[in-house]
Amino acid sequence: MAGKIKNCPMCGKLFNDTGHKVCMDCYDQILEKEREVVAYVRDHRGAKIPEICEATGAPAGMIKKMIREGRFEQIGVKMTYPCEKCGAPIISGKICQQCEEKARSELQKQASLQAAARQMAKVDQNRGQGFRSKERD
Ligand SMILES: [Zn+2]
Ligand SMILES: [Zn+2]
């Protein structure tokens, strides 16, 4: 499979992207780091993400990605990371289901408020026109 030549986002080197998105050197480093993280979690069950980051030097984003990929379930460890809004433990996405629902209903409320505002503006406009045309008479 022919790859695409581009700059590695981790080290800036030009490389042939075959789907890993980073160069082979960095990919090896990532795999090595992931192995380290998995080993640490296996030895320290219940370790929190900041603790794992500190112990392994892996970025939190990498650990979250590994949680989403189910990498810790493979070793029998249930890992979660906190919802960005309320801190509830989640295993996918950025926010928990509750916050997602809240955000969704908030959006709906905003949309209907906006629709109502548009409706009001229209009524105002019509009223204004009516007023002006009456004045012209
Ligand atoms: Zn690289
Ligand atoms: Zn939440």
pLDDT in tens, 87-126: 999 999 999 999 999 999 999 999 999 999 999 988 877 7
**Mean predicted confidence (pLDDT) in 11-36:** 94
Residues 95, 113: Cα–Cα separation, whole Å:
25
Same domain, 128 and 75: no
pLDDT given at position 131: 56
Does residue 1 or residue 49 have the better pLDDT?
49
pLDDT given at position 42: 95
Residues 117, 121: Cα–Cα separation, whole Å:
6
**b/e per residue, 112-130, with b = 16+ CB within 10 A?**
eeeeeeeeeeeeeeeeeee
Q: Which ligand is nearest to the Cα of residue 83, counting in written order?
A: 2
Same domain, 25 and 51: yes
Q: Which ligand is nearest to the Cα of residue 15, counting in written order?
A: 1
Number of domains in the chain: 2
Q: Ligand 2 center to residue 68 CA distance, Å?
A: 16
| 67 within some domain | yes
pLDDT given at position 67: 94
Q: Ligand 2 center to residue 91 CA distance, Å?
A: 12
Does residue 3 or residue 58 have the better pLDDT?
58
Q: Which ligand is nearest to the Cα of residue 100, counting in written order?
A: 2
Mind giving me the DSSP string for 7-44? E-TTT--EEEESSSSS-HHHHHHHHHHHHHHHHHHHHS
